Chain A
Amino acid sequence: MGDPKGFMKHTRQVPKYLPVDLRLANHEEHIEEFSEEQVQTQASRCMDCGVPFCMTGCPLGNLIPEWNDLVFRGRWKEALAALHATNNFPEFTGRVCPAPCENSCVLGINEPAVAIKLHEVSIVDKGFAMGWIKPTLPPSRTGKKVAIIGSGPAGLACAQQLNRAGHAVMVFEKSDRAGGLLMYGIPHYKLRKEKVQRRVDLLVAEGVEFTFSCHVGVDVTWEKLKADYDATVICTGAEQPRDLAIEGRELDGVHFAMEFLPQSNRRNWGDEDLAALHPKKQAIGAAHKKVIVIGGGDTGSDCIGTSLRQGAANVINFELLPEPPGARPNNNPWPQWARVKRISSSVEEMTAKGGDVTYSVATKRFTGEAGKVTGLVTVKLDWSSGKPVEVPGSEETYGCDLVLLAMGFLGPRKLGIVEQIGCALDPRSNVQTDPDTRMTSVPGVFAAGDARRGQSLVVWAISEGREVARCVDSWLMKHESLLPSVRIEAFAY
């Protein structure tokens, strides 16, 4: 611990977003620059707790107190090593993670938490800037071959870990680029796509192989995979979106968020023929439109920010659940994840542009003209009983040109490879595995990430990928894996 009294001297400071108009001008990251000294001062606030709860908040078990201290001391290179020891891709989590670690930071009991995420991103950015992050090849090869289905954060983490253990790894990706949600889900202004590609390139340099535009189960059968590989890992994510089966759903202009966001990201790559991606071969744009985003989560936020950047006339947002409290309620104490109201940068932008979030509201039906959506009707919900009850006479009508559905996901897509393999699903329709070995009901087939645990955070996906790699390695090598492990289950508080 650098300065035992740092937390008593300094308050929390994190880089602020630049003014809204500047942000909305393009799809780039617009965030205040922080000097190394500022970051080091922030790092001095870490108290090097005897029981660092931050490590329980973090699904990766990041060695937070250790790299905080190293940042404070300006020992960036060692900090990078400590960071990479548990996290394959800190440049992703350092940007898009909601930082559950900070929720469980001990300082957070009665002061603003340590700026852990700031340290994380500063370390890894410095590492890339200094050229410290280089491909490391395994000292030797085992001769075992592993197929990984899906190149999202879980698949990538799993690939890198298994490659380190000396196995030959092939990643199958149905899209044309690797990264999954990292590449096509999260907007560019939150995570520049070059950063995703940079990491993928490193994996390739380390020896991980990719097969793109290959939809396993369609382009290649399970029989073939089984014959060619010693083990298979399902990292296909939870792509099945939750739908809204109400009147008018079929109208043009009502889209799933994941139809909208990838197109936007592709535009930033300069890709053409965006409509090709859409099931109905539609290009979706928000420019000059009145946009309603249904769903108050991260995906909803991304839709809001992206719509605004595309030049939407206005954007409003509906959330089914009631407005969360501003501070922790008594039944949600530290170090639990705080169920409090958080205002994302996108919501902030929306508010600045005259839009807002409406809580406790359900959509009853869409209205349209000529097959195109023109509005929708909502009803207020009363949550006082703990269950939603429609408030009589509270119906309201809103006009709109574009409705984006961001109401969450319901597990992996059921058709295709999962069906072919025939592995069992859990009651929540995710791929079921043994909790310890991570193996599905089919020997040699493993699962990780959202496909296994359901829709979750990037940080969980990386954690899952690492853990499944360890399990695969043990299974392949018939002895306990030497790949690092953390207690991966959530903490029971």
Chain B
Amino acid sequence: MTHGLPPAQGLYDPRNEHDACGVGFLANIKGAKSHAIIRRGIQVLCNLHHRGAVGADPLDGDGAGCLIQIPDALYREVCGFALPITGDYGTGLVFVPRDEKSRAACMQALKQAAEAHDLKLLGWRDVPTDNKALGTIARTTEPTVKQVFIGRGKVTPKKFELALYLARKQAENTVKREHLARGAKGADELFYVVSLSSKTVIYKGMFLAHSLDEYYADLGDERAVSALALVHQRYSTNTFPTWDRAHPYRLVAHNGEINTLRGNVNRMKAREALFAHPEIGEDVRDLKPVILDEHGSDTACFDNALEFLVRTGRSLPHAMAMLMPAAWATKAKLPRALKGFFEYHATMMEPWDGPANMVACDGERICAALDRNGLRPARYLLTTDNEILYASEMGTLDFPPEKIVAKARLAPGSMIMVDTARGVFLEDDKIKDELAKAHQYADWIESYKITLDQLPAPAQPPMPRHEHIRQQQQAFGYTVEDLKVVIAPMAIDGQEPVGSMGDDTPVAILSNRPRPFYNYFKQLFAQVTNPPIDPIREEIVMSLTQYVGPARNILDAGPEHCRMLELDQPILGDMELEQLRQADVEGFRGTTLSILFEAKAGPEGMEKRLEELFIQAERAVDNGFTLLVLSDRDVDDEKAPIPALLAVSAIHHHLIRVGKRSQCSLILESAEPREVHHFALLVGYGCTAINPYLAIDSIQDMVDSGVLPQLDGNTAADEEHDAVYHYTKHYIKAIGKGLLKVFSKMGISTLQSYCSAQIFEAVGLSTAFVEKYFTGTPTRIEGAGVKEIAEECLSRHRVAFAPLIDPNRDLDRGGFYHWRRDGEFHMMNPEVIALLQHSVRANDRSTFKRYANLIDNQAKNLCTLRGLFKFKDTTAIPIEQVESAESITKRFVTGAMSLGSIGTEAHETLAIAMNRIGGRSNTGEGGEDPRRFERDANGDWRRSAIKQVASGRFGVTPFYLVNAAELQIKMAQGAKPGEGGQLPGHKVTDYIGWLRHSVPGVTLISPPPHHDIYSIEDLAQLIYDLKNANPQANVSVKLVSEVGVGTVAAGVAKAHADLVTISGCEGGTGASPVSSIKHAGIPWELGLAETHQTLVLNDLRGRIKVQTDGMLRTGRDVVIAAMLGAEEFGFATVALVTVGCIMMRKCHLDTCPVGVATQNEALRKKFNGKPDHVVNFFRFIADDVREHMAKLGVRTLDELVGRTEYLEMNEAIKHWKSKGLDYSKILAKPKAGPAVNTRCCVAQDHGIAKILDRQLIEKAAPALERQEKVVIEMPIRNSNRTACTMLSSEVARRYGEAGLPAGTIDIRFTGVAGQSFCAFLSNGMNVSLVGDANDYVGKGMAGGRIVIHPDPRVTYRWDNNAIVGNTVLYGATGGEAYLAGASGERFGVRNSGARAVIEGVGDHGCEYMTGGHVVVLGKTGRNFAAGMSGGIAWVLDEDRRFGGRCNDGMVDREQVSADTEELDVLKSLIENHARLTGSAKAKQLLTSWDANLKKFVKVFPREYRRVLLERAKKDATDRIAKETVRG
């Protein structure tokens, strides 16, 4: 039970809360206990302060805590009663209600539970606490803190921890039941056993790190000693006082997020029915539920699962490796035994996937593990005193340099362990080696696991193709577009087709046409709280493998678990399906359940059939069938299909409820699924494998009819010759790739964890329907129920089987992608586009009114959620009293469209117009021509006021940043949230290349995530960086509307952003896979309202502005957006239309016939837009807004913000499908006291008033003012973040892109630098650091020089110890870096110009690099050079194993060429490195240079080579031409 979070209300749901954090531990490896460990542990936490967050009251932290070994000496003296010897008693803090009666009941429950497990409750102690340090909110819910002592009683020492665990769980269940019975939920009812163990004790609460020992006097008591201290500082997305949500939990503290949580929890629940344990016996019931609070935080759930595995007999590292396996399935070579270990466990436990730095402690051992992607930072050091310090950052405690024996980082998917009992520190390979050797796992896999080809061929052949394929297609709602736009391109290209210009069709519930049931669900995606993954470039972590077969008792550790059928991907051909259907071997018995219903029974028939299916499915499981094939074969005029997704999910959830789910696999044989979104949903709701027979039949039909061309032949083997085989294979491949994309969007790597994870939001389905059939899925505006859905099926069925209609006639045209006259409604239709263009060109308000009426008068086509709103009747005022149009247009912005995606003319036209009206245009990703920074002679300004910072960081230089009024961090974009982008080489013209600081002609990839934002505290860091880079600019964060976006926005507000944009799914202009355009993201009405409500609820609304965009088109739209909580309004699609866009949806083809979205010179000449047109449009909108305001009786827009009381639902215009809609959640207003601001009126405190750079700027004054050389020497520590950036921005502001002459400002630091050291460094700054640095060194640097090397007094070798953290030189465009040591992950990611020398890098080195030079004088991690399209890297390959670690997808590996120019570059870089850092490695290399040169491997991107060759050829031709002329 989580107490302290408000109950779900309006669009706010506490289930969406996230946290992220700083984590660390300090331990003595030999187990020597001291009070100093605790004291210094807390010190670590204080130095991680900046990774936490504060709420509205600066004292209200998000929670902090500490886990230590039981301080026996202290307790013995203070508890007031006799304690048995150490180890014979368990203890723990317990949060109990302040109310005496409730408290007594809780304490009694624990006492009874202890006794029930043969334990003895020894007594209670009142824990001394001091709440002076608590913030106001934390104080309101501060629980009473008691400490319980429980004696071992009759329990054996070995089983003591288990008994304490069972007792605690029983007590928790008892109190939970009792709370439920009373309906108790409030924070004052909190009963929470912080920990209960004979080994560890945890102190935690809702305060800031430095208050930990102030609140708990125990921790400051010298008598308290421990050999280890595990500490945690929390950063949550809310400001609510949730004492139980502070870390550590019983075993773990965590920094990160578990993305797959819902599926993990569901599956754990499904396993419970099979629990059996010889030592636990009857008490096995107390294990359940394993996850106490399904809606608890991800860490709480993970902790529950881990604790369950550990207490029931698995070792701590074993359990950790089960839940967070490394990426074992890929080509990286693992020892056979270890691979066997992982594979065996994969058959019983899916990964708990997500960015995680998880630290677990059982009192003797501490394990720290990193997720397979290594998405959280983890650094550690070892000392001569046998101490280990582990933390998210270096520098959290000071050690004399000579005492440090190693500085390292934790690599992705790996673990370290301190075993204080054995007195050893173990690295990953040692730990895993021990685990792997425990059993013959690899042998087990070999003898038990089977693959499809090991199943016998089916006795019966697959079903023949239907005679009337058109009729089948009709019955399942296929359209011409499904074939032409979706299936055919996938069959031909093997990948999903790409589209442009967003989605402007109605959401399914508002469509007049029957829509596929899948359309009611929207894909969720990662933003801010965890990163999406790049499934192409980071393929090594991805997997589509699924296991088919029944699960077994997880408490058993025998080989039977891996009696599983392995599928390498989830799409089955017809033959493969028959193999499964007809399987009858041990563990695999197939049976078929028909999901058809009697059409003549009407809508009720479907519901009835579902009930029958529940019984049939249960019976099948009871009868020992393990493969349930759900089939919609044989639809005819009497039988109609239940939507396959509904059937799958309904049976899945029913079987979970009756405890039979884990004993079978659900396999689907259906005509329905045809596009990626369909398959993603089916898997997401529990289906293991799918046979899309009609999609396959359709491919065959298209081959037969010649739509798909025959193959040329000769190249392929016979089978490959067959066109149907070929196209089907491509189609299945495309689906697989698409699935990877869908779940990587959420940051999930494996299909196994995605399966049943339900990462979707329903839009337009009733709660009753969803709770029954899609349990746990968010749905917020109600809508259709089972009857309406059945009616949609039946209407398709009626059309297909109408007696008088030719069964072979053409399919419905669709019109879902492209507008069709008889197809789906589009918001941007011919009338709207034409009238809009006519009105702005002629400056004719009456035409504009016709346009606006067409949109606002929605009687025929509901189309948008806002279409169903109505303004309430109020008293009007004269329009003269309403604020001016000029002041309203200042709130308007245009969307982020890069120069590249649209042409220069269109881009500048928008900028000029927005500057004229005081609004703001947006650069989009891709830089801006510095010539636009100054006003033109005629007074116009082509500068975009908003400078976007996107994941590719193209063109993001210090000069660019200082020329912004607003800096926008694009976390996601409406058209394709969670995805990256790609600008193909042919579109990178000389001009674009120059703007983006990249090589013209070379493809540019924008990664899906910002590689410096994997969590909310990372975002806070980037905001801080940007604020340093331009203190005058507002920093904004762009999010896309989805369930939970409000919670993320609250986190963003706490991260000190000045503005947050909520983008709707409608609109969006970028090129993107069609399934992303259509099925990811939700309308802004929901996201905006949720954001506003959540911010108000958290009292954060006052310090952040809210903006929205996504197909805003009229004044009415603007007024509604304001009422739902927006202060500013973005327009992209319509703004483009005003300058000539006619929605060709061909932006990705570079063929825009009106010269808007193209780089083609000839086409750009056709551009016909004028700034006046844009200005006219925004004036018209403002005039419209004013008219509405006058009618409403409102004088200023500010008065409208969040005023949902002006809105109501227009009941008059609902139709049969949408009649169940209910907007009360959108219209809900959170109760807020008079002191709570409901619109932005307070400035954020960015904490940059007293930073180090203020001193630097002062000291550098002679250089800044007179270009005189200055030398500055200073100490630095990890809390000095983003050092040198504000100074650099001063340089850029005064001296532009060129900066100062090299070395004008010479800064020399000693110590450990905080994150983002030297970010956005300008020319003229030489910065050296003796010591080391953390993540993001040299981020976005444009010039200057960074030199970092360890203190010469350290005793370790520099080259294999960490000198910097992750993501170094991200997006750098110039400058040099010499780093004497190793880095973490993603060194040089998206570097486009910096030159760097480093002595070792982690995984994904030089990823997406587009330019610059990188020299690695040592080992690299895996996946080096993934997505690298430009620049050169040289890697010293001493062990000759670099080949296996390099991703050769885009690069060649070769010898360093004999070309002297190249040799000079390489050698001079290494010489500089030796000279500047004193690196022993560099010196040694140079001493026998010629011999060592052979050890270098040159990494040369193929595309870059091609472009260089072309350029050389062109230069030569030009030269010859010139010479000829001269001659």
| Chain A interface residues (CB < 8 Å from chain B) | 4-5, 7-8, 47-53, 55-56, 61, 63, 65-66, 75, 78, 81-82, 85, 104, 106-107, 109-111, 136, 138-140, 142, 165-166, 330-331, 333-336, 482, 484-487, 491-493
Contact = CB atoms under 8 A, between A and B. Distances in A.
A333 B838 CA distance: 7
A8 B1150 CA distance: 11
Contacts of A139: 803-804, 806
B830 A493 contact: yes
Given A8-B1162, A492-B835, A492-B854, A51 B822 contact: no
B799 A331 contact: no
Nearest to A479: B798
B964 to A, nearest CB: 33
B841 interface: yes
A78 B1168 CA distance: 37
A482 B1145 CA distance: 31
Nearest to A333: B838
Interface string B823-849: 000101111011101100110000000
A56 B822 contact: no
Given A106-B1144, A165-B804, A492-B854, A51 B826 contact: yes
A142 B805 CA distance: 12
A53 B408 CA distance: 63
Contacts of A136: 806
Interface stretch (B762-770, B813-821, B974-982, B1017-1025): B813-821
Given A7-B1151, A47-B1146, 19 more contacts: A4-B1149, A47-B1153, A49-B1145, A50-B1144, A51-B818, A51-B819, A51-B826, A53-B1142, A65-B818, A75-B707, A78-B705, A85-B810, A106-B1144, A109-B1153, A109-B1168, A335-B830, A482-B799, A491-B831, A492-B831
A166 to B, nearest CB: 5
A492 B1166 contact: no
Nearest to B1140: A109
B850 interface: yes
20 contacts: A4-B1146, A8-B1162, A49-B1145, A50-B501, A50-B1144, A51-B819, A51-B828, A51-B833, A51-B1142, A52-B819, A56-B821, A85-B810, A109-B1142, A139-B803, A139-B806, A166-B804, A333-B834, A336-B834, A484-B822, A492-B831
Contacts of B842: 330-331
A333 B842 CA distance: 10
Given A109-B1153, A142-B804, A55 B820 contact: yes
Contacts of B1168: 109-110
A482 B831 contact: no
Contacts of A78: 705
B827 to A, nearest CB: 11
A53 B1153 contact: no
B882 to A, nearest CB: 30
B1163 to A, nearest CB: 7
Contacts of A61: 821-822
Interface in B828-876: 828-831, 833-835, 837-838, 841-842, 850, 854
A163 B512 CA distance: 28
B183 interface: no
B1247 interface: no
Nearest to B795: A480
Contacts of A335: 830, 834
Contacts of A66: 480, 813
B450 interface: no
A48 B818 contact: yes
Nearest to B1163: A8
A286 B680 CA distance: 74
Interface string B656-683: 0000000000000000000000000000
A107 B1142 contact: no
B33 to A, nearest CB: 71
A363 B1243 CA distance: 79
Contacts of A47: 1144, 1146, 1151, 1153
A138 B806 CA distance: 8
Interface string B784-819: 000000000000000100111110001001000011
B822 A486 contact: yes
A85 B806 CA distance: 13
A51 B821 contact: no
B1154 A109 contact: yes
A136 B1145 CA distance: 38
Contact of A51 (B802, B813, B830): B830
Contacts of B820: 52, 55, 63
A333 B1144 contact: no
B507 interface: no
A49 B821 contact: no
A422 B1441 CA distance: 95
Please list the 8 inter-chain residue pairs (A to B) with the smallest Cβ-Cβ separation, ordered nearest first: A50-B1145, A493-B834, A61-B821, A56-B830, A55-B821, A51-B1143, A51-B819, A50-B1143
Given A50-B501, A485-B822, A486-B822, A7 B1153 contact: yes
Interface in B469-522: 480, 500-501
Given A85-B810, A333-B838, A107 B829 contact: no
A220 to B, nearest CB: 29
Residue of A51, A104, A493 ringed by the most chain B CB atoms within 10 A = A51
A110 B1153 contact: yes
B281 interface: no
B837 A333 contact: yes
A260 to B, nearest CB: 38
Interface in B1141-1173: 1142-1146, 1149, 1151, 1153-1154, 1160, 1162-1163, 1166, 1168
Contacts of A107: 1153
A482 B805 contact: yes
A49 B758 CA distance: 36
A330 B1168 CA distance: 14
A491 B804 contact: no
B278 interface: no
A138 B805 CA distance: 8
A336 B834 CA distance: 9
B400 interface: no
Contacts of B831: 56, 491-493
A304 to B, nearest CB: 34
Nearest to B1152: A47
B1233 interface: no
A486 B821 contact: yes
Interface in B386-417: none
Nearest to A109: B1154
A138 B830 CA distance: 36
A140 B803 CA distance: 8
A353 B376 CA distance: 87
A81 B705 CA distance: 14
Contact of B821 (A7, A82, A106, A487): A487
Nearest to A70: B707
Nearest to B1160: A8
A55 B1168 CA distance: 24
Contacts of A493: 830-831, 834-835, 838
Nearest to A488: B821
B760 to A, nearest CB: 27
B706 interface: yes
Contact of B1151 (A8, A140, A331, A491): A8
B818 A49 contact: yes
Contact of A487 (B822, B1142, B1149, B1166): B822
Given A56-B830, A109-B1153, A335-B834, A492 B850 contact: yes
A337 B813 CA distance: 26
B475 to A, nearest CB: 14
Contacts of A8: 1151, 1160, 1162-1163
By CB atoms of chain B within 10 A, which of A50, A81, A85 has the most? A50
Contacts of B1151: 4-5, 7-8, 47
A52 B803 CA distance: 33
Contacts of B1146: 4, 47-48, 50
